[in-house]
Structure 1
Amino acid sequence: MSPAVDEELLDDADDLAAADPAGVLRALATAGAQVRESVTRSEEAGVRRVADDDRPRSVVVASLGGSAMVADVLALHDGAGAPVPVTVQRAAPLPGWVGPLDLVVAVSLSGRAQGPLQLAAEAGRRGARLLTVGAPDSPLADVCARARGVHVPVERGSLSRRASSRTGLWTLLVPVLRAAHALGLVDVPDPVLARVADRLDAEAEGCRPSSESFVNPAKVLAVQLGGSVPVVLGDGAVTGVAATRAAAMLARTARTPAVRGTLPDDASDVVATFDGPFTAGPDRDLFADPFLDGPGAPKLRLLLLRGPGIDPEGGPVDADDLARVELADRVQQLAEGVGVDVSEVVAEPGHPLEQLAGLVARTDFAATYLAIGLGLDPGLSPHVADLRDAR
C-alpha cells in the first residue's frame, strides 16, 4: 500500500508549524541569510589567511552526514583543470602523502563528528595547514587552535534546534568556498555569493508554508513524490550534486529511500529500473480511483534535475550542453513510454553555484513537506537518534 500525502495539512500554515516542532521549514528559509552571515563570519575569522603561504599541493576535505555536500561542492567547482587536486575523505586515516604542503578542511556543525575531528587532529600532528568550520568552544575548534589553523565558528542557535547540519548547509559551505576562492581554486567571488543568497531568498518565498499547494512548487513536488519510489537523476555535474543532496534529504527528512544518479555515467542503471517491479506499465488503469479501489503499490517516479535549457537564439550551442539535453530528453521519453511518472526541476540560468542553490532549496523544501504530509517529524528520526546514542 502506498502512503498518501495529506494535502489539506500542507495547505494549513498553522498545522504545518505544529507538525514541524524543530522548525525545519523556518530554518530552510534562512538559507539566504546564512550565506550573508557566513561571509561576515569568514572575514572576521580571517579565512583568507589560508592563502598567506604558497598554494597548497592538494586539498583534503572532511565532511559527512548533513554537511557531506560541502566536500561535493568544492570538488565540483575544483574541476579537472584546477591547479591542485581536491580529495574527499569521510573518515580517518588521512592519505599517507598528506603533510605540511597540503591543506586539510574539516567541517562539522557540532564540532564533534568523529570523522572530521580525527582527520583534523591527524592533520595537525603532520603539520598540514588546517581550516575548520563548526561550533565555537568545540573539540574541533580546540584541535584547530592547537594546530594554529583557521577556525570559522558557527552558532547553532541561529539554526533549527534539532535539524542540525541538514538545514545549515550554507553556513558550513560558504567559509570553505571563500577560502578556496582566496587560494585561486574556485571562482566564487563575493558578488556570486550575493546572487546565491538572493536566489535562495526567492526560493524560500515561492516555497513558503503559507503558499497554497497548487502554486507552491515544493508542495507540488512533495505530493508527486508521495507513495512513490523516487529515482533522482541529475543531467550533469552540477545537477548530479543536487541529486545526491535530494536523495539524502528524502531519506533523512522524509524517510523515503531514493536512488540517485548522474548523466551520462548512470544512464544505463537508471533506465534499467524502468521495466522493474515498481513500474506501472503502459497499460495501467488511468481511471483507477484511489478512494474507491484503495491506494496501489508504490510506483517508480523519476525526479529529473536539469540544468538551464538551451536558447536556440542565444548564440552558439556548446556540444556538451547539447548532448546533455538530448540524453536527458531521451531518458525522460523512455520513462514516460513505459508509464513511469516524471517530475522535473529545471535550474535557472546563472553561475553554477546559483543553479545548485535553486535546485537544493526546491528539493529541500519538498522533502520537508513530504515528511509532514506523511505524518512524520521532519526534524528527528527516532531510529537515527537511537543509532547516535549507541555510538
Structure 2
Amino acid sequence: MSNGYDPLAVAFYDIAHEGAQVRAIAGAIEASVKPQHDEFGAEIPGLASLAGVRARSIVVLCADNLSYRCAQLAASLIQPLPVALVITETIPGYLGALDVLIVVSEKGEDAAISRAISQSVSRGITTVLVCPGDCPMVSDAPRGTIIVPHLPNALGPSPTRSVVSVLAVLELADLDPLLVVQKLTDWAEEIDKELASCSPERDETVNPARELAVITGSLVHCSDSVPGVALASLASTLWAMRGRVSASLSLAELAGASRYYQGPHRDIFYDPLLDGDGSVGLPLKPIVWCAVDADVPGLPGAIAVTSVSNSVPVSVLRLLARAFAATVFFSTE
C-alpha cells in the first residue's frame, strides 16, 4: 500500500458488487409486479411481466464471448428447461411475437445489436436487454424494451449479473414473481458470503480465491457435470481476459488428452523452459470445478474446487464468484 492506495482493494471493488447485482435484478422484478406507467399513461414493461409467459422459445442473443459463456452456464442450471432455449450470436429467422429475446452484452455500444433490438421490439417481440448501465445501447433501446438494471457504481464485466438475468427469465416462466425475488435474494446472500471469504484482507491460508490464483503450470479447467463444464469454460474465459492463459475441457476429454501432457524426459536436470522439444513444457494442472470430493481419482495433481451440489444454482454461483475473485490476485501472487 502507498499513500493509502491499495490496488488490490480497488481491483476487488467491482467484483465485490456481484451479490448486489443479483439484488438489483430481484428488486426490479419486485418493483414491476405492480404495473408501472409513464407520463403518457403507457405501461412500462418490467421483468415481472414475463411471469407465466409460455413462449414458443427464449432466444439469448450474445454480443460477445463472455456473454455467450454466461448464457451457457445459466442454461445448464435449469434442467429440464421450461421452454425451448436458443443461445446464439445471430437472431434466428423464425423469431416472432411468440418468442422472447434476451440480449446479453458486456459492450456498451454495438450498432448491429442496437438495430436487432429495435427490429425485435417493432415486431412485437418481448425483448430483455442486459448490458452496462447508462450506455448508448440502453439509450438507443426503443420504448418497450425491458432493461435489466445495472449498478451505477460498478464498472467492468459482471458475469454473475449476466448469468442470473437469464436464470431469472427462465425461473419466471414457472414461478410466481415474488418466489423468484426470494430465490434471487437468497442467492445474493450466498454470493456475498463467498466474496467475503475471497477478500484481499484474507491471506492465502483462508482465502480460496488466492489459492486458485497461485496455481501455475498448464492450466485446464474441467468438470464431469454439465454445470461444471459450463463453469469451467466461463472461468477459462474470465482468467484469459485477466492475463492468465488457460483452457477448458470435460474430464472425459482431458483423460483422452492427458498423454500429450506427459513429457518424455526423466533427466533430473531437464528444464522444460530451456530444453523444450515441442511437447508441453509446464506440468498439467487440472482445476476440477464442482468436484464432489477433494480427491479426483486418476488425475494426479488436480485441484478440486468442491461445491455442496453441482446442480443447485447457488452452489455454482458461489464458485463463479470465487473464479472471478481469483483474477484480482493474478498480478500480485
Q: Give the distance between the partners of 1:61 and 1:16, measured in 2 at CA.
A: 44
Q: Which residue of 2 aligns with 1:59?
A: 58
> TM-score under structure 2 normalisation?
0.79
- Whether the 8 Å CA contact 2:229–2:249 is kept in 1: the answer is yes
1:138 CA displacement: 3.9
* 1:158-307 matched pairs, under 5 angstroms: 158-160=153-155, 164-165=156-157, 168-184=158-174, 189-224=180-215, 226=216, 228-253=217-242, 255-263=243-251, 267=252, 269-276=253-260, 278-279=261-262, 285=268, 297-307=281-291
Go from structure 1 to structure 2 and tell me whether the alpha carbon gap of 1:303 and 1:127 turns closer, same or farther (over 3 Å shift). Answer: same
In the aligned structure 2, how far is the partner of 1:299 from the partner of 1:117?
45
The 8 Å contact of residues 59 and 104 in structure 1, kept in 2 or not, is answered as yes
Answer yes or no: is the 8 Å Cα contact 2:71–2:162 preserved in 1: no
Question: CA 1:106 to 1:370, structure 2 compared with 1: closer, same or farther past 3 Å?
Answer: same
SS of equivalent to 1:25 = helix
Residue 354 of structure 1: how far off its partner (Å): 0.9
Aligned amino acid, residue 184 of structure 1:
D
Contact 1:177/1:186 (<8 A) preserved: no
- For 1:122 and 1:193, the matched residues in 2 are separated by 31
- Distance, in Å, in 2 between the alignment partners of 1:15 and 1:186 is 51
Aligned to 2:17: 30
Deviation at 1:184, TM superposition (A): 1.8
Does the CA-based 8 Å contact 2:75-2:167 persist in structure 1? no
Cα distance in 2 for partners of 1:169, 1:218 equals 16
- Asked if the contact 1:49–1:150 (Cα under 8 Å) also holds between the matched residues in 2, the reply is no
CA distance, structure 1, for counterparts of residue 26 and residue 310 of structure 2: 20
1:370 aligned residue (315, 326, 330): 330
Q: In structure 2, which of residues 298, 313, 317 is the aligned counterpart of residue 353 of structure 1? A: 313
What is the CA distance between 1:209 and its match in structure 2? 0.7
- Measure the CA separation in 1 of the matches of 2:122 and 2:173: 23
Question: Are 1:119 and 2:110 matched, yes or no?
Answer: no
CA offsets 1:171-226 (integer angstroms, 9 cap, x no match):
344343333222228998333323322221222121111212222222122112x3
Tell me the secondary structure at the aligned position of residue 240 of structure 2.
helix
Between structures 1 and 2, the one with greater helix share: 1
Question: Structure 2 counterpart of 1:262, which letter?
Answer: S
Task: Describe the SS at the equivalent of 2:160.
Answer: helix
Q: Describe the superposition over 1:333-364 as per-residue Cα deviations: whole angstroms up to 9, x where unpaired.
A: 4332xxxx311100124862111112112222
| 1:231 partner SS | strand
Is the CA contact 1:39–1:175 (under 8 Å) kept in the aligned structure 2? no
Structural RMSD (CA)? 3.5
Deviations 1:32-75 (A, max 9, x none): 222222311343462111347x4110010022344334421332
Question: Per-residue deviation at 1:98?
Answer: 0.8
1:152 shift after superposition: 2.4
Partners of 1:89 and 1:185 lie apart in 2 by 25
SS at match of 1:306: strand
Give, in whole Å, the separation in 1 of the partners of 2:169 and 2:257: 41
Deviation at 1:101, TM superposition (A): 0.8
Highest RCO, 1 vs 2 (Cα 8 Å, sep ≥ 6): 1
Counterparts in 2 of 1:74 and 1:304: CA distance versus 1, 3 Å: closer
Q: Bigger CA drift: 102-111 or 185-194? A: 185-194
Answer whether contact 2:114 2:141 (CA < 8 A) is retained: no
- Secondary structure of the corresponding residue to residue 233 of structure 1: strand
Residue 149, structure 1, aligned to residue 126, structure 2: no
Opposite residue 120 of structure 2, the aligned amino acid is A
Change (3 A) 1:15 1:88: farther
Q: 1:87 to 1:222 in 2, by over 3 A?
A: same
Instruction: Choose from 109, 113, 126 the match for 1:129.
Output: 126
Q: Which residue of 2 aligns with 1:82?
A: 81
Q: Is contact 2:59-2:87 (8 Å) kept?
A: yes
Count of paired positions: 311
What is the letter of the counterpart of residue 116 of structure 2?
Answer: L
**Residues of 1 paired with 2:258 and 2:70: CA distance?**
32
Q: Within 2, Cα distance between the matches of 1:170 and 1:131?
A: 17
Q: 1:231 to 1:70 in 2, by over 3 A?
A: closer
| Contact map agreement 1:75 1:87 (CA 8 A) in 2 | no
Deviation at 1:230, TM superposition (A): 0.6
**In the aligned structure 2, how far is the partner of 1:284 from the partner of 1:248?**
35
> CA 1:142/1:33 → structure 2, altered by over 3 Å: closer, same or farther?
closer
- Contact 1:109 1:154 (C-alpha < 8 Å) held by counterparts: no
- TM-score, normalised by the number of residues in structure 1: 0.69
Cα offsets for 1:367-390 (capped at 9, x unmatched): 3312333xxxxxxxxxxxxxxxxx
